[in-house]
Amino acid sequence: MYQVYHRTPVGIALITADDTYITKVSIRDEEGLQETGTDSPLLKEAIKQLDEYFAGDRKEFDLPLNQPGSAFQQQVWQQLLKIPYGSTITYGQQSTLMNNPLAIRAIAASNGKNNLWIIVPCHRVVGSNGSLTGYAGGLWRKQWLLDHEARVMGKGQIKLPF
């Protein structure tokens, strides 16, 4: 298992990988545990792609990903990958897209267990009234990411009600 810390405009990303997959990308306010395997080509590629995302040059990630979860959680996370860059959907829309309209709470809970911050874009899911809800990295980061994508797409800032 390898891990590296990387500074981003919204905090310190902790990127974890094994020999084959990126297994976790989380955000924190400060560095913590010791880095291991910082010469890992996979970690270097993840850092490169995150930097491209923050520079506005990357809209989709192309990394081998693996995060543990139930079959249902895997379906939820796969649906997140289909949300276009610069767009948002509601939890209700996500449940409809998954042909499971009664599973809104379970889908929201699965979004909250997503361990691949930004790469699996759970920040693009908002409340039914357009409000920012539940983001492990903090709502200000969710707003920043949505505004960043809107600016890159030439849409200006997205102002959502709180």
Catalytic: 13?
no
Give residue 43's identity as a one-letter amino acid code: L
Between CA 127 and CA 133 the distance in angstroms is 6
Coil/strand/helix, residue 59 = coil
Of 84, 54, 146, which Cα lies nearest the Cα of 159?
146
Q: Is the dihedral of CA 137, 138, 142, 144 positive or negative?
A: negative
Q: How crowded is residue 56: how many other Cβ atoms within 10 Å of its Cβ?
A: 12
Out of 17, 120, 122, 160, which one is annotated catalytic?
122
Between CA 51 and CA 38 the distance in angstroms is 16
Cβ burial, residue 33 (10 Å; 0-12/13-18/19+): exposed
Positions annotated as catalytic residues are 122
